[in-house]
């Protein structure tokens, strides 16, 4: 994001093709509004269009008026919060209220997908081990729907993942380099470039 400072007398600021246009007697400069965070006016005699002020308001771009020392004495900000800020606020509110419900839905879907993968492998490579894992994942998917805490959800997720990866490893569907699944207790940091 850019911070633009206007420090010349007689500049006109307007809107042209969705961009800020800065005009003086001799030339024009264009700045895309989506890359602008603030505009500071540091000189008297600068004029601007109301369309530009409206776009600043809608996009959350702050307009500052500076005194001769470069200190802001006023700021113009839209009455509506910037869309990104409002979206983040709504996301945090959703998390606070619905974290358990959302987690249950996501983890239940994950377990369902793990079960579907094991069913696919079992079609072509019949195995008692896979059948047992499929049935256990079905049971866990039902149990997870009635949990009361986020830690219980995470516990069932880890248990289901252990069943899933153990059954794949026992029937040799995983490469030799994948020895076993490491749970939440993993202390080693692995960075792959």
Task: Tell me the CATH number at 40.
Answer: 3.100.10.20
Q: Based on the fold, state whether residues 158 and 122 are members of the same structural domain.
A: yes
Q: Based on the fold, state whether residues 107 and 47 are members of the same structural domain.
A: no
Chain-centre distance for alpha carbon 25: 44
For residue 21, tell me if it sits in a domain.
Answer: yes
For residue 154, tell me if it sits in a domain.
Answer: yes
- Domain range for 69: 2-76
Q: Based on the fold, state whether residues 69 and 93 are members of the same structural domain.
A: no
SS3 at position 173: coil
Q: Based on the fold, state whether residues 45 and 120 are members of the same structural domain.
A: no
- Read off the pLDDT of residues 39-78 as tens digits, 9 standing for 90 and up: 899 988 899 999 998 888 888 888 899 888 888 888 887 7
Give yes or no for residue 189 having a pLDDT over 60.
no
H or E stretch covering 139:
helix 128-143
Q: Based on the fold, state whether residues 44 and 66 are members of the same structural domain.
A: yes
Q: Based on the fold, state whether residues 38 and 106 are members of the same structural domain.
A: no
Q: Report the domain count for the chain.
A: 2
Q: What share of the chain is helix, strand, coil (3-state, %, to 5)?
A: 50, 20, 30
Q: What's the predicted TM-score (pTM) here? A: 0.48
Closest CA to 64 of 52, 54, 55, 77: 77
Q: In what order do the strands lie in the sheet with 72-76?
A: 2-6, 36-41, 62-66, 72-76
Query: What residues does 32 pair with on adjacent strands?
Result: 19
């Amino acid at each position: 994001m850019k911070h633009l400072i206007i420090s010349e007398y007689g500049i006109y600021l307007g809107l042209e093709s969705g961009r800020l246009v800065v005009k003086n007697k001799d030339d024009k400069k264009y700045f895309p509004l989506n890359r602008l965070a603030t505009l500071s006016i540091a000189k008297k005699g600068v004029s601007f269009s109301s369309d530009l002020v409206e776009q600043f308001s809608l996009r959350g771009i702050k307009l500052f008026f500076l005194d001769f020392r470069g200190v802001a004495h006023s700021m113009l900000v839209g009455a509506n919060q910037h869309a990104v800020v409002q979206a983040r606020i709504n996301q945090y509110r959703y998390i606070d209220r619905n974290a358990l419900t959302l987690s249950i839905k996501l983890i239940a879907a994950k377990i369902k997908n793990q079960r579907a993968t094991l069913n696919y492998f079992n079609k072509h490579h019949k195995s008692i081990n896979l059948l047992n894992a499929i049935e256990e994942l079905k049971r866990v998917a039902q149990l997870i729907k009635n949990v009361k805490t986020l830690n219980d959800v995470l516990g069932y997720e880890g248990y289901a993942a252990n069943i899933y990866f153990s059954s794949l490893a026992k029937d040799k569907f995983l490469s030799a380099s994948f020895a076993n699944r490491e749970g939440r207790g993993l202390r080693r940091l692995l960075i792959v470039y």
